[in-house]
Amino acid sequence: MNILISVDIEGVAGVYHPEQVRPGNPEYERARRLMAAEANAAIAGAYDAGASQVYVNDSHGAFRNMPPDLLDERAQAIQGKPRYLSMVSGVELGMDGVCLIGYHSRAQGLGILAHTINSFAFARIAVDGRELGEAGLYGALAGAYGAAVIMASGDDVFIEENRDLFPHTTWVQTKRATGANSGISLSPAQSCAAIRAGVQQAVAGRSACRPLLLAETGKPLQITLQTQTTALADLFCQWPGLVRTAGDELRFSAPDIESAVRMINSLSAMSSMLR
Ligand SMILES: [Zn+2]
């Protein structure tokens, strides 16, 4: 039984501020260790429940946050970018379940450090009219590879936002949001204990979860992107096939969720030109 653990940092207990999620300062050095500790708790929970191989995917920023020597030696780490499947790289190996650790609410959400893929570039992402954050987009990408999201952790806003998409998933609340950069958090030790128990329960009960499919297989998806500035929409629409629908909005269609996510990540990379 293979389990994939995708780990972001904004939803980790004790993390509130952009400084904690941006490399190059002592706050980040501390936060990346909290991230690795929650990853290790999830890895332990998966092995407690009988996993034969656990893969841990580093899913924040440059995708190389968790110091490899601090990760549980039983797991194999997936790090570095760019990579086509991004936050769920590893699903192509064939997974029996995916856990999302340290995830956060989508752009414009009320959660701590809320954003969708790139806070500089995107104000809103919708697929066939349904607004999605990273859990929805990457949950659907995992779904296209036949893998269900069986467990997820983050703040209360993240959980409320995604409950309907993943009705049988096990949720672990690490903190309660009181603003974009404030909240009430479990201690790191308590958060890790809850994550370990949550993953164990989720892996044992994984058969209740179904892979997320946003549309019938073979049906193209319509993606609507709201950009943070009109200049970003000017830039993105240099790409043939993207249609400008408002000063800060554009649309494109994609044959499947993998193409949609790859296009969104390509635009995210392009946006660095305007930083
Ligand atoms: Zn992140």
Q: What is the pLDDT of residue 218?
A: 86
- Tell me whether strands 182-185 and 170-179 are parallel, antiparallel or unpaired: antiparallel
How far does the centroid of ligand 1 lie from the alpha carbon of residue 262, in Å? 17
One-letter amino acid for residue 239 of the chain: W
Q: What is the pLDDT of residue 116?
A: 97
Q: Distance between alpha carbon 137 and the CA centroid of its chain, in Å? A: 8
Q: What is the pLDDT of residue 217?
A: 81
DSSP code of residue 180: T
How far does the centroid of ligand 1 lie from the alpha carbon of residue 218, in Å? 30
Coil vs helix vs strand at 233: helix
How far does the centroid of ligand 1 lie from the alpha carbon of residue 10, in Å? 6
Q: What is the pLDDT of residue 142?
A: 98
Owner of token pair 């409950």: 163
Mean pLDDT of the chain: 97
The answer to whether the CB of 181 falls within 8 A of the CB of 16 is yes
* 175-230 per-position pLDDT tens digit: 999 999 999 999 999 999 999 999 999 999 999 999 999 988 889 999 999 999 99
How far does the centroid of ligand 1 lie from the alpha carbon of residue 79, in Å? 14
Helices 188-204 & 26-48 angle (0-180, nearest 10) = 30
From residue 108, alpha-carbon distances to 114, 115, 203, 247 in Å are: 7, 7, 32, 18
* 50-66 per-position pLDDT tens digit: 999 999 999 999 999 99
Q: What is the pLDDT of residue 272?
A: 97
Architecture of domain 2-118+132-208: 3-Layer(aba) Sandwich (3.40)
The one-digit pLDDT tens for each residue of the chain (275 residues) are 999 999 999 999 999 999 999 999 999 999 999 999 999 999 999 999 999 999 999 999 999 999 999 999 999 999 999 999 999 999 999 999 999 999 999 999 999 999 999 999 999 999 999 999 999 999 999 999 999 999 999 999 999 999 999 999 999 999 999 999 999 999 999 999 999 999 999 999 999 999 999 988 889 999 999 999 999 999 999 999 999 999 999 999 999 999 999 999 999 999 999 99
From residue 253, alpha-carbon distances to 44, 83, 175, 220, 257 in Å are: 40, 21, 36, 7, 10
One-letter amino acid for residue 104 of the chain: H
How far does the centroid of ligand 1 lie from the alpha carbon of residue 138, in Å? 13
How far does the centroid of ligand 1 lie from the alpha carbon of residue 172, in Å? 18
How far does the centroid of ligand 1 lie from the alpha carbon of residue 22, in Å? 9
Backbone angles phi, psi at 151, to 5 degrees: -155, 145
Q: What is the pLDDT of residue 11?
A: 98
Distance between CA atoms of residues 102 and 7, nearest Å: 6
Q: What are the structural domain ranges in the chain?
A: 2-118+132-208, 221-274
Q: What residues are neighbours of ligand 1 (ion), with CB under 5 Å?
A: 8, 60
Coil vs helix vs strand at 149: strand
How far does the centroid of ligand 1 lie from the alpha carbon of residue 238, in Å? 27
